[in-house]
Amino acid sequence: MKGIMKRGNLRQLTIAQIVAAILFLLLIIISGFLIGNDKLAIHLDMKNTAPSIAHPFGTDWLGRDMLVRTLKGLTISLGVGLLAAILSSLIALAFSLIASWNKRMDAFITWLIDLFLSVPHLVLLILISFAVGGGFKGVVIGLSLTHWPSLTRLLRGEMLQIKSAEYVGISRQLGKSRWWIARHHLIAHLLPQLFVGMVLLFPHAILHEAAITFLGFGLSTEQPAIGIVLSESMRYLSTGMWWLAFFPGLSLLIMVGIFDILGKNMRKLIDPFHGQKG
């Protein structure tokens, strides 16, 4: 009885953490969309102001409110991470389905995964982003083409288990096509893992977007992305304006941590093994 109550309490706690994480992320998104260009305007009479009640994150060298810039930057990073995670997940699903066709394709996909994982991640991301012209398009394409291998390896392992299932063999004996089996058996079984994997890709995509933007290979300097904000603040840190990098960097880490918590809790909720383990 105590074990059942404990599992019930853990499940309720997991759901509560998921709801809290989603609400917090929605708050960031809504706040970012509500911020207009007028709130990002320059106010030279308020430049270099330390954190205060009026400006909790302080102001920069042009008098722009750092709280507003941080929220806008988080929204931009969130959009880039969302698009890149979705595209990476679709690539992972496609490659895992291709790997299930026959042993040759499986060997090819396995070799491709090992090839991408053997190259330093950030270097490959910068090369792809630079090759396609940089900017928003370059960052999204670079992130999409470099974040699929780990998820593909996971989905491929799941696919191999499903292929040996009895109901899949019965479908083959009944003359069902590969596409029918993939649509009704394989994809349907992989959707929970795919969704959780996509959520767990978010933190990696957001951090890597901020990293290459900080290095000057990412988003345009006209956009108040977190990487741009951190890059611009570096030249002012020596003058004692610590808040320019501290609050945006801390906000980015908090958002990444929330995505990580969200993904892990969703995996606990969806995966029966983790559910029993909890």
Of 144, 138, 136, nearest in space to 126 by CA? 138
Span 59-85, pLDDT tens digits = 888 888 888 888 888 888 888 888 988
60: alpha, beta or left? (left if phi > 0; alpha if psi -120 to 50): beta
Q: What is the pLDDT of residue 8?
A: 55
Q: What is the pLDDT of residue 271?
A: 64
265 against 92, higher pLDDT: 92
Asked if residue 277 has pLDDT above 50, the reply is no
Asked if residue 274 has pLDDT above 50, the reply is no
Asked if residue 244 has pLDDT above 60, the reply is yes
Residue 128 and residue 198 in contact, taking contact as beta carbons nearer than 8 Å: no
Asked if residue 278 has pLDDT above 60, the reply is no
Span 96-107, pLDDT tens digits = 888 877 788 888
Instruction: Give me the domains of the chain, ranges plus CATH numbers.
Output: 2-36+64-277 (1.10.3720.10)
Asked if residue 160 has pLDDT above 80, the reply is no
| Beta strand extents in the chain (DSSP E only) | none
Section 33-43 average pLDDT: 75
- Give strand pairing partners of 59: 65
Span 249-270, pLDDT tens digits = 888 888 888 888 887 787 777 7
Span 78-90, pLDDT tens digits = 888 889 889 999 9
Asked if residue 1 has pLDDT above 60, the reply is no
Specify the 3-state DSSP secondary structure of 65: strand
Contacts of 80 (CB under 8 A, 6+ apart): 136, 139, 140, 143, 205, 206, 209, 219, 225
Q: What is the pLDDT of residue 122?
A: 82
Q: Which two tokens stand for residue 259?
A: 């995505």
Q: What is the pLDDT of residue 138?
A: 86
Asked if residue 168 has pLDDT above 80, the reply is no
4 against 213, higher pLDDT: 213
Q: What is the pLDDT of residue 252?
A: 86
